[in-house]
Amino acid sequence: MATIDQPDLTKLVQSTDSKHTSDSMAATFHAQMVGKTVLITGVSPTGLGAEAARIVTKHAPKLLILASRSPASISQVIADLKAAEGFDAAATTIEPLPVDLASQASVRAAVASLNEKHPDLALDVLINNAGIMMLPAYEGIPDAAGQVIEKQFATNHLGPFLLTNLLVPALLRSKATARVVSVSSGGYLGSPVYALDDPSLLRDTPASRAAYDAFKAYAQSKTANVLFSVALAQKLAGKGVLAFSLDPGAVGTTNLSRYVPVDVEKALGWRLEDGSLNPAAPFITAEQSVANYVMAAYDPALADKSGAMIKTVAVDEGVLDYAKDPILAEKLWALSEELVGEKFDY
């Protein structure tokens, strides 16, 4: 069972007093949103990806590409978007992109199919939203060399790392300044990327299974999201692509925490003793959460803040050192290249 001996897990949730919502933020940045090409991963009817897709669609993108491992989920979200009042089919095209971010082969196949359909794709915004949280037991996924590594790290970091790098040519073709937004979590506070000191800790071995801590594995992957943005900002500096990470806060209506043990949720104050959601818990709405997405993806004031983390609709100035250290970011980049079997040099 997952332990909760992490530092101050109450920081996993944001304050509920924010007046900003996805709609209010998008109204501010409407001019930056119209006519853009946007790709969002992890789109399901009950998740934050669907809310991100809703607000982007409302502001007339040229092309919206929605990615998920579930074709049925994408189809439902697309149907809902097209049925919404004000949808303009003449202005906006919405396309599905089936992809399982846990599988490097699936990521490569998805990008290949996208490049075949749009050989000169100019991508303005990539939102790496997909993720999994606190699997109940160790699960392994093959890396590029066929060795098995921990699934949360593979899904939450390596999949987006590979997807983003394969899409960099499309991002560089953007006529505006393109942006890569990686959705991290306040959970990053629970652990640095411990595999940087010993990559064998990612491997599927009797020892790693015995020592598996679902929360620390999740926290490691979320720290990796922040470090990835730091590294990407460094490598693409001056090339017309900005990178940001963000803390979306805790939204009680998504199913991301479906694997979190109930006793852990009770200890965090998320649930009452009877197992029901605690109405006093500081959850935020999906609209409040996605306000951070809109800011990271479109706010012109962030032009000189590439590599920053966004939290509660502001630049987070308190990011822990192990999540913003450029040396650790470079070390993670090198490890990630090894695990995906390809080097990316910009």
Q: Which residues are catalytic?
A: 218
Structure-token pair, residue 195: 């595999």
For tokens 């060399």, the residue is 145
- Please count the CA atoms within 13 angstroms of the CA of 334 that sit on its side-chain side: 9
Give the containing element (helix H, strand E) for 242: strand 241-247
> For residue 248, which amino acid is it?
P
How far apart CA 190 and CA 216 sit, in angstroms, is: 6
Tokens encoding 172: 């560089």
> What number of other Cβ atoms are within 10 A of residue 129's Cβ?
28
The DSSP symbol for 302 reads: G
3-state secondary structure of 103: coil
Whole-Å CA distances, 303 to 89, 126, 179, 238, 295? 31, 16, 10, 11, 11
And the tokens for 255? 């199913």
3-state secondary structure at position 179: strand
Which spans in 92-149 are helix H? 104-117
Nearest-CA neighbor of 231 among 316, 312, 327?
327
Distance (Å, rounded) from C-alpha 52 to C-alpha 274? 32
- Between CA 46 and CA 277 the distance in angstroms is 17
Measured distance CA(33)–CA(297) in Å, rounded:
9
The amino acid present at 22, given as its one-letter code, is S
Helices 326-340, 214-235: inter-axial angle, 10-degree rounding = 100
